[in-house]
Structure 1
Amino acid sequence: MNKKVGTLTRAAILLAIALVFQFVKMGQLVTGSGINAVLIIAAQICGLPWAMAIGFITPFMAVVLGVQPPAMIIVVPFIIAGNILYGTIYSLLKRRSKIIGVIAAAFIKFGLLYSAVNFFLTVNPPIKAALSFPQLLTALIGGSIALVVLQVLERIYKK
């Protein structure tokens, strides 16, 4: 199979998985962790541009699918920026250490979203709460899950 077609196929499958996490509506902890895992996996196996594309599409789809209430539309640009930063920071640091990449990416994404809802935007308390410390938790959990999945995939494809 052509390398570009293979990458596109993997990215499409990862986007579909992220959308399933949103559509099933399993709560912020599961959904957020799942999407963050997909972003790290995409950055690792498809490349940063594909992770960025998935990070761009998923916040809009969350509103369209009703996972996020319409009031969340004001924070969508910040969520997009957070997702893109998450993938970018991981991609920049993964050669040094994938674990450090996940941790740094999680804290930077959290910092952006926390700052947005606490200092730059006027949002209601539930939105402020959802985009504060749970974001750090889901980014760390999702990144941890991604690292395990990537290790398993690496072992499978080495054979």
Structure 2
Amino acid sequence: MNKKTKTLTRTAILLAIALVFQFVKMGQLITGSGINAVLIIAAQMCGLPWAAAIGLITPFMAVVLGVTPPAMIVVVPYIVCGNVLYVLTYSLLKKRSRVVGVAVAALLKFGLLYSVVNYFLTVKPPIKAALSFPQLLTALIGGSIALIILQVMERIDKK
């Protein structure tokens, strides 16, 4: 299989996994952590453009699947920006340190979403709560899970 086909296949599989997390509706902690794990794995295995594409598609699919309540539709573009910032930051820092990449990416994603709902948009308290500290937690958990999965996959590849 050539490299382009392999990358496209990996991206499609990762997008499907992210959509399963959304479709099953397991709560913000599980769903958010799962999607963030997928984003980091995609950034590492498929590259920034493909990971950004997944980060763009998933918030809109959450609306279509009914995961995102109608009151939150106004924040979807910012969630997209947060996802893209997450994978961009990780991609820029991963060569220095994957752990630092995840940590800084999580902080920046959290900072963006927290700032948007607390200082720039007028949203209801439940939306503020959902897009505040839980975002930092899910980004850190998802990134940590992704790093473990990537390490296991790399060990398997070496065998």
With the length of structure 2 as denominator, give the TM-score of the two structures.
0.99
Structure-to-structure mapping, 1:23-102, within 5 angstroms? 23-102=23-102
User: Could you give the per-residue CA deviations for residues 54-87 of structure 1, whole angstroms, max 9, x where no partner exists?
Assistant: 0000000111101110111100010000000000
Aligned residues between the structures: 159
CA drift of 1:89 comes to 0.3
Aligned mates of 2:133, 2:144 — CA distance in 1: 17
TM-score w.r.t. the length of structure 1 is: 0.99
Cα distance in 2 between the residues matched to 1:29 and 1:68: 14
C-alpha root-mean-square deviation of aligned residues, in Å? Answer: 0.4
- In the TM superposition, residue 2 of structure 1 has moved relative to its aligned partner by 1.1
State the AA in 1 paired with 2:78: F
Q: How does 1:97-136 map to 2 (within 5 A)?
A: 97-136=97-136
In the other structure, the counterpart of 2:5 is: 5
Unaligned runs of 5+ in 2: none
Q: Which runs of 4+ in 1 moved over 3 A?
A: none
The code of the aligned residue for 1:87 comes to V
- The answer to whether structure 1 residue 157 and structure 2 residue 154 are counterparts is no
Which runs of no fewer than 5 residues in structure 1 stay unpaired?
Answer: none
